[in-house]
A and B are shown apart, each in its own frame.
Chain A
Amino acid sequence: MSLYLTKDHEWVRVEDDTATVGISSHAQEQLGDIVFAEVPEAGRKVAKGQEAAVVESVKAASDVYAPVSGEVTEGNSALGDDPSLINSDPEGEGWFFKLKLGDPGELDGLMDEAAYREWVKTL
């Protein structure tokens, strides 16, 4: 199981050919109190870089991009009732959606966890 992150602050955790996607701890901290999230439904095909989900804090609305291409297998329904999970556990219970990887080669362009954590410190 390995974790990759993007410069847009999405994370993707890969297990076999399934990827789980969410936003980083840094991202939720910047957004502040999250009050709404809209996640894609199973069956939707998303392309790398395409808008796949919406997250809104008290202050701002943000698009969440698909860090890799694939077919959504599950949206996190728990976020509908409790979007604050994204604040309290952004890289765990606050995941957005899972997808079946279309092209595992796309992962090569992403940062690994250590590189991302280093890069975030420079922001």
Chain B
Amino acid sequence: MSSEVQNSDIATNEETLDKLPLDAWHRARGGRMVPFAGYEMPVQYEGIMAEHLWTRENAGLFDVSHMGQLLIHGRNAASALEALMPGDFLAAADMKPKYSLLLEEDGGIVDDLMATRRGEDFYVVVNGATKQGDIAFMERRLASDVVIDHMRQQALLALQGPRAAEVLEAIIPGVSKLSFMEARPFAWQGRSLWISRSGYTGEDGFEISVPAIAAPELADAIVAHELAKPIGLGARDSLRLEAGLPLYGHDLDTRTTPVMAGLNFAINKRRRSEGGFLGAARILSELQNGPPQKRVGLEVDGRQPVREGALILDGEGNEIGKVTSGGFSPSLQRPIAMGYVASHLADDGTALKLEQRGKLFDAKVTAMPFVPHRYHRKGASA
């Protein structure tokens, strides 16, 4: 038997792998460690399927300390960031995380990120595999009076699931008052935490920035609750796929633009009329005339997963795109995928074929998310 695990973020053997602040914590709980984004990270504890379903029903604790936490400060930080990204940083409300994208001159995506105004500063969380490149990219382009601090001493935990608020409120009173996409500082056992109500699973939940030295203690306190369990990277990937959320390096890269990826919501209205961000020429043209390809969801017939790299064919067998993420959906008990197709074949219901290892699969373009989001929005009942 021979396996092909596909994961382009898996480091080569020559690279030395860093350890997470919670490395020993994961191992003590049976985490199976694999190389990911330059770190040894837990891919699973008891099993991806069980962990996935647990998170959809209860609360799952994820260690995402590999991600880059940056503090961008300086008097003109907001306008400096506007020169790079298509978001509204000037009028950004305090403590409201916003999704944005670092773009190349040609509109290709360098990374996707969350940026939160904290007074005059911006707290920015970028992907783990890309963080060093992102910092270099921004430092080359930001004015000299804007400074990027890489907060290496901070760990990042995510608690996700319909019971996450109940679990975290018992440890850190007040967190359940946050609405989806709100953040603020909290204190716990004399430590400063920065908590936002956000995540990458489609469920309600929180992301918690904690000093690395206090992370094991906080993780212990969370999983001491009977509704919380540690969850590995494997389930993180299947959860975000069901939620229709793109993963950088797979569904997004320098060959894709925000418009191709269906991330138009991240291109602010004022910025659309004013331009003035990297890649604006191409992005504004694609907004007006449509992109050549679009990211779509795919429902795959049968039970066999169709994974990243599979070809997408039209009715005549012509290649019109590629699958960029795909797998078996634990919640739906069927294979799902996302990928890019020629725009004229991107409408919901379009019948397509997928080709993987010489075998053809019937598939249908379908709206995402595959599993409905259940965020905690203001005004919604708790």
**A contact residues vs B (CB 8 Å cutoff):** 8-10, 23, 27, 30-33, 35-36, 38, 54-65, 80, 83
Contacts and interface: CB of A to CB of B under 8 A. Distances in A.
B44 A32 contact: yes
Contact of B43 (A8, A38, A59, A63): A59
Given A33-B47, A35-B305, A38-B304, A59 B234 contact: yes
A32 B1 contact: no
B370 to A, nearest CB: 15
Given A58-B234, A59-B43, A61-B307, A35 B328 contact: yes
A56 B1 contact: no
A63 B48 contact: no
A80 B44 CA distance: 25
Q: Give chain A's interface secondary structure class.
A: strand
B2 A36 contact: no
> Which 3 A-B residue pairings sit nearest by Cβ, starting from the closest?
A33-B49, A35-B328, A62-B3
Among B1, B2, B357, which residue has the most Cβ atoms of chain A within 10 A?
Answer: B1
Given A33-B47, A59-B43, A61-B305, 20 more contacts: A8-B1, A9-B1, A10-B1, A32-B48, A32-B234, A33-B48, A33-B50, A36-B303, A36-B305, A38-B304, A56-B304, A56-B328, A58-B49, A58-B305, A58-B330, A59-B48, A62-B2, A63-B1, A64-B1, A65-B2
B327 interface: yes
A66 to B, nearest CB: 11
23 contacts: A30-B3, A31-B3, A32-B47, A33-B330, A35-B305, A35-B328, A36-B303, A36-B328, A38-B304, A58-B49, A58-B238, A58-B327, A58-B328, A58-B330, A59-B5, A59-B43, A59-B48, A60-B6, A61-B4, A61-B307, A62-B1, A63-B1, A64-B1
A23 B50 CA distance: 22
Contacts of B43: 59
A64 to B, nearest CB: 5
Contacts of A59: 5, 43, 48, 234, 327
A36 B306 CA distance: 11
Given A56-B328, A58-B238, A35 B5 contact: no
Contacts of B47: 32-33
B4 A58 contact: no
Interface in B289-337: 303-305, 307, 327-328, 330
Contacts of B238: 58
Contacts of A65: 1-2
Contact of A60 (B5, B304, B330): B5
Contacts of A10: 1
Contacts of A35: 303, 305, 328
Contacts of A58: 48-49, 234, 238, 305, 327-328, 330
Contacts of A63: 1-2
Interface string B331-360: 000000000000000000000000001000
B305 A23 contact: no
B234 A62 contact: no
A86 to B, nearest CB: 11
Among B43, B44, B304, which residue has the most Cβ atoms of chain A within 10 A?
Answer: B304
Nearest to B34: A59
A59 B48 CA distance: 8
Nearest to B334: A35
Interface in B1-43: 1-6, 43
A55 B305 CA distance: 10
A9 B2 CA distance: 9
B34 to A, nearest CB: 10
A32 B307 CA distance: 17
Contacts of B307: 61
Contacts of B303: 35-36, 80, 83
B318 to A, nearest CB: 25
A36 B1 contact: no
Contacts of B48: 32-33, 57-59
